[in-house]
A and B are shown apart, each in its own frame.
Chain A
Amino acid sequence: MGPFFKIFLFFIFTLAACGQAQAKLYVVTTTTDLRALVSEIGQEFVTVDSIAKGTQDPHYIEAKPSFMTKVNRADLLISIGLDLEIGWLPNIIQGARNPKVLKGQKGYLEVGPLVEPLEVPTGKISRAQGDVHPDGNPHVTLDPIRVGQIALFIAERLGQLDLEHQEIFIKNAKIMQTRLQDKVKIWQATIDQSGVKKIVTYHKTLSYFLNRFNLENSAILEPKPGIPPTSGHIIEIIQQIKEQKIPLILVENYFDPTVTEKIKNRVPTVRSATVMVAVDGGPNVSTLDALFEHLVDTINGR
């Protein structure tokens, strides 16, 4: 046996021995919204980290090797799916070398496909349509009702991995779901009072939120998903805002908001705001409830 093979075998068996059980479940999530969910459901029985930060566009995260180190130690990896993380998560999973979190294993959970995605394209799609998601819009965690459903899926999976605390996880998820269902009624009333019915956004990030609260996403500043606004498209948007009397433009906080200045110069009555669209997207938004309240308050002009 040559020296290379001896070294090789030494590392294989040494590292295999490193996979010892941890006291608490260690969960890695792709987004901060999912991290907030796991944190509330798992409480002191779970340690959780997110790969993306709340200030980052989750479509374009870089597959930093340090994320692979985290996923290597994870008992559970939770992602949105629906191709949100397609540009970076496969590399992280491949580099993590952790068989527990491979697709199909108990340690891998994709929540987006479980909660009836919106905007699933029909007919033939191509990249000429921009950055389309063939299985639907992936920003599912901006709907409080779907968040409640996701909480139950996460609790169920946590319970499978930690039978001892299964009931606590399910109980916490149900409490969260009920709380959000109750708050949706209050938030709906607040939005209704604002008089806002139509909103322009930069990207289709807020589709689920707007759909839940019966708001119309009348126009998108991106001419196509993932394509930055062009002058010609902005002129069309200005025309739409004037004709449809759209009162509000919301720009997700990882996009450049300066484009709205041009619109406001031409339509002084339109209001624009930069909004956080993920937990920890800014100060005082460290929970999903706070995130939804921030969005409701912004629409309401507070």
Chain B
Amino acid sequence: MNTFVKVFMIIIFGIPVAWSQNPQTRGKVFNPDISANFLGLFQRGTALSEDRTQVPHNGLSLQEAELQFTSDVDAYFKGTALLGIAQESGSTEYGIDPEEVYFETLNLPHVTLRAGQFKLALGKHNTLHPHAYPFIDAPLIHQQLTGDEGLVESALSAAILLPTSWYSELILQVITLSNEDLFQSPSSGQTGTLAHFKNLWDLTDDLTLEIGLSGVTGKNQFAKTSTLLAGDLTFKWRPAEGGKYHAFIWSSEFLDGKRKGLTDEVTGDSAEHLGGMATWIQYQFAARWWVQTRYEKMGLPHPASIPSQEKQSALLAFYPSEFSGFRFQYDHLKTQGSADDDHTFSLQFNISVGAHPAHVY
């Protein structure tokens, strides 16, 4: 047993707990909270395929379904299993993926330790599941650098709440390097590291400012280093009076990736350095209605082998309740060197059943 594991065991089990004993030892009370979410999608796009084995494609599809189970494991840990069901590209079949399966500590002061497979704390958007994306799709730069699923790895994580008067959190993670777009390390024994520093200030009772900086590094398939840096900035306004009916969010995220050794398969030119940004505004103009817009620039900088892209999106959302939502999105995509711009219309429904969702700020 190495030093880290010994210390981990002492910390976890050495802290006395005083959970009240529930006399009920059987029945539903110990069942996990269970919820299911499904996203249905209708799309019509100039660049989308009519081939239903392609993801995404024109027409109706089940974008994704998720099953989530959450419960306290015992007096020390909480467990979460989130299984994603999505169409596999090149087939009409759907596959089940363990999107997030992890346990984390319940009762350590100032720190949460987590182990398992989960979405890494890189920026803000990467931690979101598709049903919680601010837009129907992920930003271009995220898709390009971390793939469709985002950066998900097996990892050990320590999330430390720093003793400051404002919210300040430092997350340190030791991760595997399986992501095909960023690492694809051939050795399962190799690990990478991630650090995320998040700060949030209440500028007024109604307005918050959040700034996050994060970076992840590890060996890639070329036995060289891949590094991805991220910065995020969010202003959020929801008035204490009338806040049921109005809110405003402005978020921006910048990613800069260096995948040393990566070359263009055809020309052999370097494709190492790629960056990009997305910035979006969300405005709630009535109790159940939001209007949103997003601008993206993929290729800040970009290698010659990867054309830069600019995208503008507009979205109108209607949420009948906390458990259902309908969103209509239009995207305009301009790709460097392409004569024709792409236009896509999407209509998505977002349905949740089961346990009440906990709303992440």
A contact residues vs B (CB 8 Å cutoff): 1, 4-5, 7-9, 11-12, 15-16, 18-19, 53, 55-57, 60, 62-66, 68-69, 72, 83, 86-88, 90-91, 94-99, 102, 104-106, 127, 131, 226-228, 254-256
Contacts and interface: CB of A to CB of B under 8 A. Distances in A.
Given A4-B193, A63-B359, A66-B208, A98 B109 contact: yes
Contact of B174 (A4, A62, A65, A91): A4
B168 to A, nearest CB: 8
A228 B19 CA distance: 40
Contacts of A102: 106-107
B360 A104 contact: no
Given A19-B109, A91-B358, A102-B106, A56 B167 contact: no
Contacts of B19: 104-105
B163 A15 contact: yes
B360 A12 contact: no
Contact of B4 (A1, A18, A60, A69): A1
A69 B166 contact: yes
B129 to A, nearest CB: 15
A140 to B, nearest CB: 20
Ranked 6 nearest A-B pairs via Cβ: A15-B110, A65-B167, A99-B107, A104-B20, A104-B19, A55-B241
A55 B239 CA distance: 10
A261 B244 CA distance: 20
Interface string B283-297: 000011000000000
B170 A69 contact: no
A87 B240 CA distance: 17
Nearest to A228: B287
Interface in B328-361: 353, 356-361
B18 A105 contact: yes
B281 interface: no
Nearest to A16: B109
23 contacts: A4-B172, A8-B4, A8-B158, A8-B172, A11-B160, A18-B110, A19-B110, A57-B244, A63-B359, A65-B169, A69-B161, A87-B322, A87-B356, A87-B357, A87-B359, A88-B358, A91-B359, A97-B108, A99-B17, A99-B108, A127-B321, A254-B241, A254-B242
B54 interface: no
A54 to B, nearest CB: 9
A72 B205 contact: no
A4 B2 CA distance: 14
Interface of B: 3-4, 7, 11, 15, 17-20, 78, 106-112, 158-167, 169-170, 172, 174, 193, 198, 200-202, 205, 208, 210, 238, 240-245, 287-288, 321-323, 353, 356-361
B160 A5 contact: no
A68 B167 contact: yes
A156 to B, nearest CB: 16
A60 B353 CA distance: 19
Contacts of B170: 11
A97 B112 contact: yes
Contacts of B243: 56-57, 254
Select the residue from B167, B174, B198, B245 with max chain A CB neighbours within 10 A.
B167
A173 to B, nearest CB: 23
A52 to B, nearest CB: 9
A64 B4 contact: no
B161 A86 contact: no
Given A4-B174, A4-B193, A9-B7, A65 B163 contact: no
B360 A66 contact: no
A235 B230 CA distance: 54
Select the residue from B15, B161, B287, B360 with max chain A CB neighbours within 10 A.
B161
Contacts of A15: 109-111, 160-163
B111 A97 contact: yes
A295 to B, nearest CB: 19
Contacts of A87: 322, 356-359
Contact of A97 (B109, B166, B238): B109
A4 B158 CA distance: 10
Nearest to B201: A66
B4 A12 contact: no
B288 A228 contact: yes
Contacts of B172: 4, 7-8
Contacts of B4: 1, 5, 8
A96 B161 contact: yes
Contact of B167 (A69, A88, A226, A254): A69
Contacts of A96: 161
Nearest to B19: A104
B353 to A, nearest CB: 8
Contacts of B202: 64, 66
Nearest to A130: B321
Contacts of A18: 109-110, 163
Nearest to B170: A11
B3 A1 contact: yes
A171 to B, nearest CB: 28
Contacts of B161: 15, 68-69, 72, 95-97
A215 B166 CA distance: 46
Given A55-B241, A60-B244, A69-B167, A97 B110 contact: yes
Contacts of B198: 65
A274 to B, nearest CB: 12
